[in-house]
Structure 1
Amino acid sequence: MRSTIQLLRLLCVLPFLLPALPCRAADDALHAAVARERARPVAPHYPRATFLVRSATPAVALSPDGRQVAYLREQAGHRSLWVLPADGGEPRRLLGGTDARQIDWSQDGRWLLLASPTQLFAVAAAGQGGSRLVAPLGGREQRELLRIDPLQPAAVLLRERVPASLDAPERWRLVRVDMQGHRTLLREDARQLVDATLERSGRLAFVERVEGAALVFHRVDASGSLHEVLRCTGLHRCAPLPLVDTRGRLLLRSDLGDGFDGLRRLEPDGTLTTLHDDPRGEADLDTLALDPADGTPRIASYRGTVAASHGLDAAAHDALATLEARYPGRNLEVAIGATHWLVQEQASTLHGARWHLYDVRTGGLRDILAFAPLADRDGRPAQWLPEAAMPRKLPLAWNASDGMRLHGFVWLPPGVDPARLPLVVLVHGGPWNASRPDEFGGGFVQALVNRGYAVFEPNFRGSTGLGRRYSMAAQGDFGNGRVQQDIVEGTRWLLGRGIGDADRVGIIGASFGGYSTLLGVTFQPQLFKVGVAMVPPPDFAWVLDWVGRTTEALALARYIPLDSWLAALSLDPRDAATMARLHAQAPLAHAREMNRPLLLYAGGEDRRVAIRGVLGYAARLKQLGKDVSLLVDADAGHSNADPVAREAQLYLIVLMLHRHLGGAAPEPLDPVLREYLARSLRIAGSDLQAAGLAPSRP
């Protein structure tokens, strides 16, 4: 199968050899999907705020025995913990207030573990015994929950750092902690410990640690001595599963071998055997569902241009067939329990995720957690948008000018001729990230499509989740070079397929997507008529250097030193030639050439993109007489979940696109939004001035 797919890809990038076969099939599939969208009824116009409502159930977890579902529920600004019997019955509230973001069950199902950024609490699932602190999280020790112990009845595994002192160097520990807070040291090491795999007796079998720029696996013998068995260099992905297999072999997720992240097994002779990877030969392994009884992988899921799951044994295969027949074309996330499976259903047309219980004994399915979304920002009841009116996320693929096959998605308003639509290019952040299939996506995209825009989401080279070759192909060319060319060529390819009006194209994005937006309105103004850039770095090289000197470096590179991580991506901040090239191609260096209307947004507490860089760029544009607007939310970081701020952003985006691309006009501002904008605006360009908006202070 893999060799066949690779052959088709080769034929697609060598059109002079055989131009008709796979590329024409891909085009035919796109045209058929576009025709289906055009045949649908035209969607009604929905109020702006309805696209931004959030789920009232931010976290859901199935007990290992499959008999209970725990969930967090938000109401009136408070988050509570509930438990629902899987076989039916009323839910019980266990905790009236918590700041937890994640919930897990202990292996014996007697305890619920609530993790927040600062602490890990245990709550008795039976409702008696109250709650207790298991361990503080974060802090100088960088303590974090590694996982629930898969072998002990009620314990967790923690990873923590012992800071250096005058008497001792820095150390790293793996610790087992039970619900009473009793600690058992599993390993202490001078090297940073990343992960571990347990023998079925509970003893450490393998540890993974950082050694320079490599992640290295060691077998742990009975005396505690280490024996290297696998070395992952060059940013190869290597993540162990919690338990060895029944013969004591290490199981891991890795892209070693064929370049796609898949399920691997380390053999005694040191070779890796592939147990499963994407049958389509397109995507990295996204999630694995493990059997709670013995840790055996049972379901592998991939999210490339389509969302697909595969059973790894006969029973899982048959159960998935039942689920897919019931929920065709959906993105299904499955958690496995002994008696029931918890099934999360998502789709690009589905405003809020739906939850179901699958009874493995009878094959029956039951819908659960059918809550309305959170109330809107004014406390009024909110409703999910109807699926029948929502646009579908259509996968597409095109060939870059150098022959590389690229992927992306397009959203189209139902019932409309796509050739007459204004087109918005939405560039994802990262850049090491991706647009994924069958996700509603936070509401902004659907709101734009509902206002009459086609929206294109390109997964340019450097995007993740589509194999190592894809993610490494950028070769550091993140200025006005190959990556930006992918975005431009994808846009022109889409226009050439009759999707979008070439005279009405805009570009928007956040973080790296904002940087791409600045590049677009600076270097491709003949294509992009307007830009909206949120938290954008005006100089990518400067931001890489700045982040490397902040605590964000740890969050970005995770374990590998940031300089080494960036060097592997051909973006070494220590390489003067690379940095000089990026500086020379930066939008900041070419501010004089930016001649399109531009809206900038920045967060006063942004730790990823320094606000002074955005402010300096905006000031430079203003000095040059450019049509620029700037909004600064003093309390926001690199992202902003505040309902008022999000609605204000959406209003400004729709305003800018309406004035320059011709989509529907934004709904009028209410006093709350108007006050927020007056407080947050620093510079009002011609579009905002025409809408009666001005900063409350000069």
Structure 2
Amino acid sequence: MYYRYARGSGELTKLFSARPALDGKPLVKQWPQEIPSRDGLTLVSYLTLPHKADPEQDGKPNTPAPLVLHVHGGPWARDTYGYSSTPQWLANRGYAVLQVNYRGSTGFGKDFVNKSNFEWAGKMHEDLIDAVDWAVKQGITTADQVAIMGGSYGGYATLVGLTFTPDTFKCGVDVVGPSNLMTLFNTFPAYWASFMQQWYHRVGDPRTDEGKQKLLDRSPITHVDKIKKPLLIAQGANDPRVKQAESDQIVEAMKAKNIPVTYVLFPDEGHGFARSENSKAYTAAAEGFLGTCLGGRVEPIGKDLTGSSITVPVGADIVPGLPEALRSHTQAIKN
């Protein structure tokens, strides 16, 4: 919604709605937060609370709610204040949503970015854990009702959450997240050649033996045997940045160790979902998965797979209604 603000009188005049389709819908407010990290940083974050937990919509929960820690990608990007579809969807289903600008996020100065150098699965992850601890202390959620989800780096953070801190999260949803930093580096697209020096400087240098070992140590695939909570992985088969092999290898490793996993694969998608039909199918699967894990509201899958290319090579039975929906689904692949 856009308004004109008169500085003299303080009067607001409504101009127009940027998203008229959302007018009158049961959206909830987003609340900016400043969360302290254990080493003294200020993590600018955003909290979205479901109506049930915050009926007054004053940003102060009356009762704890299951929480989804939604981690942004990049990592050299940031969450911002304003409408975002994923937090609104999750809040509508009964979840509190916390978005954290962990160290490495942009928009907070060069020093804040530099403090993330070589801290993948290190202090960058500690920032996320500090935010979860803060949410528990604030009565937003309870320690046994927290999920982690995200795409790209957020997917990596999800895998790190379930491997490096396996007791913190009740489940995880990883969308196109790398599981092995060595194979990630080896398969970056050729057009990223000019960008690689930044990766060597900020993440690790696989051109040295020491660098290779550090990258492997920070790779979730190295610690896969520590996973003990449910995991949903979504992947596009045509992803040029995070190849399908990144998801395949951790799924295979989990299968080999008899660790349950649900793998949702889209043969006509890349680094995320370009087709609305595929986005809807993923959302239906993720909603059912989170409902099983955290107990939030779930709509029956019904015809939500229609027009999508979704396949579920592993673990469809973990999501209620997904096997039945797949049996009647006609796959639609778009080139």
Q: Give the TM-score band, short-chain normalised.
A: 0.7 to 0.9
- How far off its partner does 1:323 sit? 11
Structure 1 residues 320, 681: CA separation in 2 closer, same or farther (over 3 Å shift)?
farther
Q: Aligned runs of 1:609-620 on 2, under 5 Å?
A: 609-620=242-253
What are the Cα deviations for residues 208-252 of structure 1, in whole angstroms up to 9, with x where unaligned? xxxxxxxxxxxxxxxxxxxxxxxxxxxxxxxxxxxxxxxxxxxxx
Q: Which of 289, 295, 306 lines up with 1:662 in the alignment?
A: 295
Match of 2:49 in 1: 412
Q: Is the 8 A contact 1:435 1:457 kept in 2?
A: yes
- How far off its partner does 1:674 sit? 6.0
Q: Is the 8 A contact 2:71 2:149 kept in 1?
A: yes
- How far off its partner does 1:411 sit? 0.4
The answer to whether 1:501 aligns with 2:142 is: yes
- DSSP 3-state at the match of 1:406: strand
TM-score with structure 2 length normalisation? 0.86
Between the aligned partners of 1:493 and 1:527, the Cα distance in structure 2 is 13
Structure 1 residues 517, 570: CA separation in 2 closer, same or farther (over 3 Å shift)?
closer
- DSSP 3-state at the match of 1:673: coil
Between the aligned partners of 2:237 and 2:227, the Cα distance in structure 1 is 25
Q: Which of 128, 144, 150 lines up with 1:487 in the alignment?
A: 128
- How far off its partner does 1:663 sit? 0.9
- DSSP 3-state at the match of 1:402: coil
Match of 1:577 in 2: 210
Q: Is the 8 A contact 1:461 1:470 kept in 2?
A: yes
Letter of the 1:467 counterpart: G
Q: Is the 8 A contact 2:301 2:325 kept in 1?
A: no
Q: Which of 497, 522, 544 lines up with 2:163 in the alignment?
A: 522
- Between the two proteins, the alignment pairs up a number of residues equal to 318
Between the aligned partners of 1:632 and 1:323, the Cα distance in structure 2 is 55
Between the aligned partners of 1:657 and 1:464, the Cα distance in structure 2 is 29
- How far off its partner does 1:564 sit? 2.3
Q: Is the 8 A contact 1:681 1:694 kept in 2?
A: no
Q: Which of 81, 87, 109 lines up with 1:445 in the alignment?
A: 87
The answer to whether 1:551 aligns with 2:190 is: yes
Between the aligned partners of 1:695 and 1:639, the Cα distance in structure 2 is 21
Q: Which of 194, 199, 206 lines up with 1:566 in the alignment?
A: 199
- How far off its partner does 1:545 sit? 3.6
Letter of the 2:35 counterpart: W
- How far off its partner does 1:690 sit? 6.3
Structure 2: tracts of 5 or more residues without a match? 55-60, 330-335
- DSSP 3-state at the match of 1:692: helix
Structure 1 residues 449, 320: CA separation in 2 closer, same or farther (over 3 Å shift)?
same
Q: Which of 503, 506, 511 lines up with 2:152 in the alignment?
A: 511
The answer to whether 1:478 aligns with 2:120 is: yes
Q: Is the 8 A contact 1:423 1:454 kept in 2?
A: yes
- DSSP 3-state at the match of 2:262: strand
Q: Which of 210, 216, 222 lines up with 1:589 in the alignment?
A: 222
Q: Is the 8 A contact 1:539 1:588 kept in 2?
A: yes
Match of 1:688 in 2: 319
- How far off its partner does 1:320 sit? 7.7
Structure 1 segments, 4+ long, off by >6 Å, are 694-697
Between the aligned partners of 1:667 and 1:695, the Cα distance in structure 2 is 16
- DSSP 3-state at the match of 1:644: helix
Q: Which of 387, 408, 432 lines up with 2:76 in the alignment?
A: 432
Between the aligned partners of 1:674 and 1:684, the Cα distance in structure 2 is 20
Bigger mean CA deviation after superposition, 577-586 or 422-431: 577-586
Match of 1:68 in 2: none
Structure scoring higher RCO (CA < 8 A, sep ≥ 6) equals 2
- How far off its partner does 1:673 sit? 1.2
Between the aligned partners of 1:469 and 1:325, the Cα distance in structure 2 is 39
Between the aligned partners of 1:385 and 1:576, the Cα distance in structure 2 is 56
Structure 1: tracts of 5 or more residues without a match? 1-317, 329-342, 346-351, 355-371, 373-382, 555-560
What are the Cα deviations for residues 504-529 of structure 1, in whole angstroms up to 9, with x where unaligned? 11011001100100111122222201
Q: Is the 8 A contact 2:175 2:272 kept in 1?
A: no
Structure 1 residues 327, 448: CA separation in 2 closer, same or farther (over 3 Å shift)?
farther
Q: Is the 8 A contact 2:277 2:306 kept in 1?
A: no
Match of 2:27 in 1: 390
Structure 1 residues 319, 507: CA separation in 2 closer, same or farther (over 3 Å shift)?
closer
Q: Aligned runs of 1:615-626 on 2, under 5 Å?
A: 615-626=248-259
Q: Is the 8 A contact 2:120 2:218 kept in 1?
A: no
Between the aligned partners of 1:323 and 1:543, the Cα distance in structure 2 is 56
Between the aligned partners of 2:110 and 2:301, the Cα distance in structure 1 is 46
- How far off its partner does 1:463 sit? 0.4
Structure label with greater radius of gyration:
1
Q: Is the 8 A contact 1:683 1:695 kept in 2?
A: no
- How far off its partner does 1:402 sit? 1.4
Letter of the 1:571 counterpart: G
What are the Cα deviations for residues 119-174 of structure 1, in whole angstroms up to 9, with x where unaligned? xxxxxxxxxxxxxxxxxxxxxxxxxxxxxxxxxxxxxxxxxxxxxxxxxxxxxxxx
Match of 2:332 in 1: none
What are the Cα deviations for residues 550-588 of structure 1, in whole angstroms up to 9, with x where unaligned? 23416xxxxxx3232224425334343233112123111
The answer to whether 1:533 aligns with 2:174 is: yes
More strand by share: 1
More helix by share: 2
Between the aligned partners of 1:324 and 1:478, the Cα distance in structure 2 is 46
Letter of the 2:190 counterpart: T
Between the aligned partners of 2:265 and 2:9, the Cα distance in structure 1 is 46
Q: Aligned runs of 1:282-361 on 2, under 5 Å?
A: 321=7, 325-326=11-12, 353=18
Structure 1 residues 634, 320: CA separation in 2 closer, same or farther (over 3 Å shift)?
farther
Match of 1:216 in 2: none
Structure 1 residues 692, 468: CA separation in 2 closer, same or farther (over 3 Å shift)?
same
Between the aligned partners of 1:569 and 1:472, the Cα distance in structure 2 is 8
- How far off its partner does 1:617 sit? 1.5
Letter of the 2:99 counterpart: E
Between the aligned partners of 2:9 and 2:207, the Cα distance in structure 1 is 51
Between the aligned partners of 2:6 and 2:221, the Cα distance in structure 1 is 51
Match of 2:57 in 1: none
Match of 1:423 in 2: 67
Between the aligned partners of 2:8 and 2:192, the Cα distance in structure 1 is 45
Q: Is the 8 A contact 1:627 1:685 kept in 2?
A: no
